[in-house]
Structure 1
Amino acid sequence: MSDLTVSPASLDGDVVDYFRAKADAYDDVDDQPYWMLSDELLWHVLTTTVLPRLPDGFRFLDAGGGTGRWSHRFATARPDATGLLYDLTPAMSDVARSKAHRHGYADRLTIRNGDLADVADALEGERFDLIFNFHNVLGFVGDPAQVIASLAELLTPGGLLVSFVPSRWHAAFFNLALGQVEEAERCIDGSGRFTDTMPAMHLFTPDQLTALHEAAGLKLDVVTGFPCLIYPGYQETQLHGSTGWLENLLSDRDAFAGIYELERRVLADPAAAGRGNNLFTIATRQGSAS
């Protein structure tokens, strides 16, 4: 597949600048113990509840895919899959492109730049069995409802939209832990930030996600959250470094394995979603293709 670059209709300068500055070192989060735990939990859910539902030779869209951390996982775990990574920031896409060439799946991954606000028009006529957007993607778009509806249009009948988004309740807790009461108040109102160097973003609740997906004509199959029992500190919002007690605890293999199993048990309970650092949803497109 070819790598295509298009000029997005509108760019949010703050978001582009934020991620451009992080692009070269963004994948360094793979070495932080807390995010290693979070990633393994996410991959567990994906391999047990998402991949088994996909057809052979499925096609995926990594919406806001950044450096391709999750495109890489899908492309290497399923050599029959093909995909398209669509992201706002060319500097992040350059890292994803290099990674795809280095690991031998560049012929199966198309990379395009554009604003998710325009994704339905930019990818008109294309269809995907799986669309995923992970971590803060829906937080950084201008209108999450419009983006979810646009992504729903690009699904095949029975296709899955999988989202992993920032939790409003955890964002408020995080700011209170740093003594930032006013920022916690903003988080409770639905928009806030974790550090003063990042743009403000939308923050979500389980009920809100349910309403947004149902309004887009999607059937919610899963609404949960994780990690629920162990939370990141300030250092985990940075690309390098780890909070001391988290690093000490999670660097112990037995402790990591024990916490991982506890988290797996809790994330299986939808009632625990509100405790999650992030919220996780799986939704299905019903009906026939348009």
Structure 2
Amino acid sequence: METTTDTAVRDYFAEKAPAYDDTDLQPYWVLSDRLLAQALREDVIPHLPEDFRFLDAGGGTGRWTSFFAQECPGSTGVLLDLTEEMIAVAREKAAARGFADRVRFQQGDLDHVSEDLAGEQFDLVFSFHNVLGFVSDAERTVADLGRLLRPGGLLVSFLPSVWHATFFNIGLGRLDEARKALSRRGRFTDTMPDMHLFDPQRIEEMHAAAGLRIEVLGGFPNLIYPGYQETQLHGSTENLVDVLDGDGLEQVLEMENQVRNAPGIAGRANNLFVVARSSS
């Protein structure tokens, strides 16, 4: 049975689907995506077989399905998403980029992923940005996704940070939202549903409970943070546009990569990056 929370999340993303990829025009998210792509090339792809099978859990418009399918032409996969509107955009993208024959697109709810994908196994399961924030029970979903992994398979997540959400809301004068974020539950705007927020302790505990061994726990961007405009599909914070214009983007990218693996850096991250391996 669909809950009020399910409906709110579905409606939130269905409405955004047609323009969701316009974030490609926002310099801050260009920086974030380039950092994530580099982390995947260094910390994930080298540890997978050439013909790996992946699950894009909550894949939306297929941004990261497209990355893996194009980066690794021997790969095949499944994109699972809550909304048909997002999936329609992802299908068009796959057809235009020539990998539609290697990816299956399926509507489904991560709260029921064990049922939706019963009997299937993957070498790689990934879930990026706020996806695990919007499930009913993040710990249960991580365990369910872990059970879909083949022995030695990887679960890779990019998760919203407790501490960044608190900092962000304080900066906007939203002190009640900031206080709520410290309880690992919150949001960045009044128009989005509440979501789970994560810190290293919660991440370590939920992966251990799922029988998954964490191999990488970090995050990024660490040295530059989004403003309110970056929570919208259009528009960018003026000073971020100035800083990331032209060669500025490359300079900040270089500095971000310099600190990406520094001990304890996850505490500064906008989003937390996790690579965990199945031992069974």
* TM-score normalized with structure 2 length: 0.98
Query: 2:55 — aligned with what?
Result: 61
Structure 2 residue matching 1:223: 3-state secondary structure: strand
Query: 2:66 — aligned with what?
Result: 72
**Deviation, structure 1 residue 10:** 3.2
Query: 1:137 — aligned with what?
Result: 131
Question: Which of 21, 31, 47 is the equivalent residue of 2:25?
Answer: 31
* 1:41 corresponds to 2:35: yes
Query: 1:103 — aligned with what?
Result: 97
Structure 2 residue matching 1:261: 3-state secondary structure: helix
One-letter amino acid of the counterpart of residue 93, structure 2: K
Q: Is the 8 A contact 1:193 1:201 kept in 2?
A: yes
One-letter amino acid of the counterpart of residue 89, structure 1: T
**Deviation, structure 1 residue 218:** 0.2
Question: Which of 161, 174, 178 is the equivalent residue of 2:172?
Answer: 178
**Deviation, structure 1 residue 256:** 1.3
Distance 2:142 2:234 in 1: 32
Question: Which of 159, 166, 170 is the equivalent residue of 1:165?
Answer: 159
Q: Is the 8 A contact 1:168 1:203 kept in 2?
A: yes
Distance 2:61 2:141 in 1: 20
Q: Is the 8 A contact 2:127 2:156 kept in 1?
A: yes
Query: 1:275 — aligned with what?
Result: 268
- Percentage identity across aligned positions? 55
Structure 2 residue matching 1:229: 3-state secondary structure: coil
Q: Is the 8 A contact 1:223 1:270 kept in 2?
A: no
The one-character-per-residue Cα deviations of 1:98-128 (angstroms, maximum 9, x if unpaired) are 1111111110010101110111121111110
Distance 1:140 1:114 in 2: 14
Structure 2 residue matching 1:120: 3-state secondary structure: helix
Query: 2:234 — aligned with what?
Result: 240
Distance 2:89 2:278 in 1: 31
**Deviation, structure 1 residue 225:** 1.2
Distance 1:30 1:109 in 2: 23
Query: 1:224 — aligned with what?
Result: 218
Query: 1:20 — aligned with what?
Result: 14
One-letter amino acid of the counterpart of residue 276, structure 1: A
* 1:257 corresponds to 2:257: no
Which consecutive residues of structure 2, in runs of 5 or more, have no partner in the other structure? none
RMSD of Structure 2 on Structure 1 (CA): 0.9
One-letter amino acid of the counterpart of residue 215, structure 1: A
**Deviation, structure 1 residue 261:** 1.2
Structure 2 residue matching 1:263: 3-state secondary structure: helix
1:78-157 → structure 2 map (5 Å cutoff): 78-157=72-151
**Deviation, structure 1 residue 65:** 0.3
Distance 1:193 1:37 in 2: 22
The one-character-per-residue Cα deviations of 1:160-208 (angstroms, maximum 9, x if unpaired) are 0000000000000000110110110000111111000100100000111
Distance 2:252 2:176 in 1: 32
Aligned length: 278
Distance 2:136 2:262 in 1: 31
Structure 1 residue matching 2:44: 3-state secondary structure: helix
**Deviation, structure 1 residue 270:** 3.7
Task: Find runs of 4+ consecutive structure 1 residues off by over 6 angstroms.
Answer: none
Distance 1:10 1:84 in 2: 23
One-letter amino acid of the counterpart of residue 253, structure 2: Y
Query: 1:284 — aligned with what?
Result: 277
Q: Is the 8 A contact 2:50 2:72 kept in 1?
A: no
Structure 1, 261-270 or 228-237: larger mean CA deviation: 261-270
Structure 2 residue matching 1:25: 3-state secondary structure: helix
Distance 1:109 1:259 in 2: 34
Query: 1:10 — aligned with what?
Result: 2
Query: 1:4 — aligned with what?
Result: none
